Chains A and B, each alone.
Chain A
Amino acid sequence: MKLDDSRSARTMAAHTPELDWMTVDDVRLEVIERGQGRPILWLHGEEGLDPTAFFLAQLSARGRVLAPSHPGFGHSPNAESIDTVDDLSYLYLDLMAARDLREVVLLGSSLGGWVAAEMAVKCADRLAALVLVGPLGIKVGDRETRDIPDIFALHPDEVRRLQYRDPAAFGVDTTALSDDQLTVIARNREATAQYAWEPYFHNPKLRRRLRRISVPTLILWGGEDRFVTADYYGAAYRAAIPGARLRTIESAGHFPHLERPDALVEAVDQFLGECRV
């Protein structure tokens, strides 16, 4: 089945799956856990975790998907001990160890891609492959170049225009949402500010450390990403990770898993096939 439109993708997945809870040390996490087989760890970005997302359903046909909401996002409580991306990277390394997950396919989007990259530079022992979807986290230009648009200084409509190929499809009528849904939106924004405010969406040390990544790595980029481009930011990421491949997904912006879930999963399939993991 091919789906090329996110709205129909959302409709297809309208049955809302239950969310589970897990605890890593003393940190409680809302988590989606679905499917059987090889572990697939999905780390969401600023957009948060949508349990109805079509790409998660597709991924769960290929293995056991584990997709947590980071502390402060979704319904995951704030955690006293977790307030940086560095903390998140240790949290999920600990999660993999606690579950004794092996040969994990680790995927992360945007802010979540940054977390995934921080994990892989620290320890790749439990990883089989790394897939970074429009990852943030590195400083590319000089000090006067704003690599990543300042979402906290732009009108929300402009942020959406930069991040989505089809911003209208992802406009949210907040007056039509429940208090719970609005709370999640507000928490996601607040948690993003906590993790990414300064240095802005990056760790000045990360770019140099990326050379330590020893697992096969695929970097996926929306071909119409106006927020952070493949030519500039994606190319710098690829150059920093030994052997990494960079592929673009056509007709998608900064969140290709939402705008082209089918193409994203297809690219992941192809990559895993190529590197025989």
Chain B
Amino acid sequence: MRAWFFSENAYHLLADASEYESIRVQLPNRYYDPKLGADLYHRFIDEWLIAEELGLEIMVNEHHQTATNLNPSAAVVMGALGRVTRKARLLILGNPIANRREPVRVAEEMAMVDVYSHGRLECGFVRGVPYELSAGNHRPTHMMERFWEAHDLIVKAWTSHDGPFNWEGKFFHHRQVNIWPRPYQEPHPPIWITALSPASAREVGAKGYVVACFLTGWDGTQAVFGAYRARRAELNLPEAALDRFAYAALVYTGETDEEGYAGARKLLWYIESNKVPPQYTSPPGYHPISSAVTAMKGSASAGIFRLFKNPAPLDEYMERGLVFAGNPDSVYRQIKKMYDHVGGFGHLLIMGQAGFLDHDETVKGMQVFAREVYPRLGELERDS
């Protein structure tokens, strides 16, 4: 099992949430102090470097117009990390390619990071959260169609080496695609795709990419991984190896349970601070019609979007498998329980910094995990 250290690079130094309507899309950037922001950027890069020293891999993502994440370009920060790291695999999860107007530019950026890092890039593609649509003025309808066309164009740009090709699709038009540089890895960097529902996992399974679940808990994760495996069986494709499955959770390992819980409570800032009004959580066309109907009937919306609206105490998240926290034994047992429940997975994406978890606390959580928990995760695969 590979463990990846992931940080959203939030700007947490905000006024009380009662003073603003939304932390995303419309929060004025006068609340952001670039001088403090510069220090935070360097701190977060230092934390990724410490993760590498501890033997962990590195994961970066991107979001737009939000204080919850100050990486509007994953390629930029990964470009810096590609230069200053030496051995860690570098995962971007991911590029929101249904929202990028120029997929060829994404192909270029990713090829560049791959070459910079001598082939250490793992390239994720994500649909993007609903809040990104107003932020980037992206039409919320037909997003997955746009996503797959962008994917097809990027993969073709990465793998075409004999001069320009033509692309006149439904969403993207180019007559001369011929990227320089081409990727370092052959035929291209490994592709990861986030899936929060079984329906979206099927296509990922058919293509054999790494499927990543983000805070989907026991049953949500089991359903997504199950749909991936079932689709491969339907198509008579070989059974997927464990390294095709990734699970992202909030993780904090302390010397004691108490220390672990205290760290995890600070990580919950990520969920608790996600104050977003309904027009941004449910842009028409983003969720299926049936989900919109369910929401109008007053039932809860799906998955993590429900969490953001209704934060719960730590123990509830732990019971549901969204947070792994406590002393090393406790964290190991929680990961093992999830692993056994979902049929195994080969990547643990550790969201190990959020909100007011300071540098020393963040590093301590990583150190205890790397020293006491990580070595034991190999047992899981040997036992299964």
User: A21 interface residue, CB < 8 Å from B?
Assistant: no
Determine the chain B residues whose CB is within 8 A of the CB of A190 once the complex forms.
Answer: 141, 284-285, 289, 292
Q: Restricting to A150-188, which residues have a CB under 8 Å from any CB of B?
A: 150, 152-156, 174-175, 177, 179, 182-183, 185-187
Query: Is B278 touching A193 in the complex (CB atoms < 8 A)?
Result: no
User: B42 interface residue, CB < 8 Å from A?
Assistant: no
User: B293 interface residue, CB < 8 Å from A?
Assistant: yes
How far is B294's CA from A175's CA once the two chains are assembled, in angstroms?
10
Query: Is B279 touching A193 in the complex (CB atoms < 8 A)?
Result: no
User: B134 interface residue, CB < 8 Å from A?
Assistant: yes
Query: Is B139 touching A186 in the complex (CB atoms < 8 A)?
Result: no
Determine the chain A residues whose CB is within 8 A of the CB of B296 once the complex forms.
Answer: 174-175, 177, 182, 185-186
Beyond A152-B279, A153-B26, is A198–B292 a contact (Cβ under 8 Å)? Answer: no
State the Cβ distance, A98 to closest chain B Cβ, in Å.
27
Query: Is A174 touching B289 in the complex (CB atoms < 8 A)?
Result: no
Determine the chain B residues whose CB is within 8 A of the CB of A179 once the complex forms.
Answer: 293
Query: Is B279 touching A156 in the complex (CB atoms < 8 A)?
Result: yes
Query: Considering the complex of A and B, which 3 residue pairs feature the smallest CB-CB distances, nearest first?
Result: A189-B284, A186-B292, A174-B296
Q: Which residues of B approach A to under 8 Å, CB–CB?
A: 25-26, 133-134, 137, 139-142, 277-280, 283-285, 289, 292-293, 296-298
Query: Is B141 touching A197 in the complex (CB atoms < 8 A)?
Result: yes
Query: Is A197 touching B140 in the complex (CB atoms < 8 A)?
Result: yes
Query: Is A175 touching B298 in the complex (CB atoms < 8 A)?
Result: yes
User: A192 interface residue, CB < 8 Å from B?
Assistant: yes
State the Cβ distance, A186 to closest chain B Cβ, in Å.
4
Determine the chain A residues whose CB is within 8 A of the CB of B277 once the complex forms.
Answer: 155
Query: For the complex, would chain A's binding face be called helix, strand, loop or mixed by DSSP majority?
Result: helix
Residue of A nearest to B299 (CB): A175
Determine the chain A residues whose CB is within 8 A of the CB of B279 once the complex forms.
Answer: 152-156
Residue of B nearest to A175 (CB): B298
How far is B298's CA from A154's CA once the two chains are assembled, in angstroms?
20
| Interface residues in A, total, Cβ within 8 A | 23
How far is B297's CA from A197's CA once the two chains are assembled, in angstroms?
26
Determine the chain A residues whose CB is within 8 A of the CB of B25 once the complex forms.
Answer: 153
Query: Is A186 touching B289 in the complex (CB atoms < 8 A)?
Result: yes
Query: Is B284 touching A193 in the complex (CB atoms < 8 A)?
Result: yes
How far is B25's CA from A182's CA once the two chains are assembled, in angstroms?
28
User: A194 interface residue, CB < 8 Å from B?
Assistant: yes
Partner of A153, one of B134, B141, B297: B134
Beyond A153-B25, A153-B279, A193-B140, is A186–B284 a contact (Cβ under 8 Å)? Answer: yes
Beyond A175-B298, A190-B141, A193-B140, is A183–B284 a contact (Cβ under 8 Å)? Answer: no
Q: Which of B140, B279, B283, B298 has the most CB of A within 10 A?
A: B279
Query: Is A187 touching B289 in the complex (CB atoms < 8 A)?
Result: yes
Q: What are 16 residue pairs bridging A and B, where the CB atoms are less than 8 Å apart in the complex?
A: A83-B142, A150-B134, A152-B279, A152-B284, A154-B279, A177-B296, A183-B293, A186-B284, A186-B293, A187-B289, A190-B141, A190-B289, A192-B284, A193-B285, A194-B141, A194-B285
Query: Is A194 touching B139 in the complex (CB atoms < 8 A)?
Result: yes
State the Cβ distance, A241 to closest chain B Cβ, in Å.
29
Determine the chain B residues whose CB is within 8 A of the CB of A150 once the complex forms.
Answer: 134
**1/0 contact string of A52-65 vs chain B (CB within 8 Å):** 00000000000000
Query: Is B140 touching A183 in the complex (CB atoms < 8 A)?
Result: no
How far is B291's CA from A186's CA once the two chains are assembled, in angstroms?
9
How far is B288's CA from A182's CA once the two chains are assembled, in angstroms?
13
How far is B35's CA from A208's CA once the two chains are assembled, in angstroms?
48
How far is B277's CA from A182's CA once the two chains are assembled, in angstroms?
21
State the Cβ distance, B66 to closest chain A Cβ, in Å.
14
How far is B297's CA from A154's CA once the two chains are assembled, in angstroms?
21
Determine the chain B residues whose CB is within 8 A of the CB of A194 once the complex forms.
Answer: 139, 141-142, 285
How far is B280's CA from A83's CA once the two chains are assembled, in angstroms?
23
Determine the chain A residues whose CB is within 8 A of the CB of B293 once the complex forms.
Answer: 179, 182-183, 186
How far is B133's CA from A194's CA once the two chains are assembled, in angstroms?
13
Residue of B nearest to A197 (CB): B139
How far is B139's CA from A225's CA once the two chains are assembled, in angstroms?
27
Residue of B nearest to A176 (CB): B297
Determine the chain A residues whose CB is within 8 A of the CB of B298 once the complex forms.
Answer: 174-175
Determine the chain B residues whose CB is within 8 A of the CB of A155 once the complex forms.
Answer: 277-279
Determine the chain B residues whose CB is within 8 A of the CB of A198 once the complex forms.
Answer: 137, 139
Residue of A nearest to B141 (CB): A194
Determine the chain B residues whose CB is within 8 A of the CB of A187 once the complex forms.
Answer: 289
Residue of A nearest to B293 (CB): A182
State the Cβ distance, B282 to closest chain A Cβ, in Å.
9
State the Cβ distance, A142 to closest chain B Cβ, in Å.
18
How far is B277's CA from A197's CA once the two chains are assembled, in angstroms?
19
State the Cβ distance, B149 to closest chain A Cβ, in Å.
15
How far is B175's CA from A8's CA once the two chains are assembled, in angstroms?
60
How far is B278's CA from A189's CA once the two chains are assembled, in angstroms?
14
Residue of A nearest to B283 (CB): A152
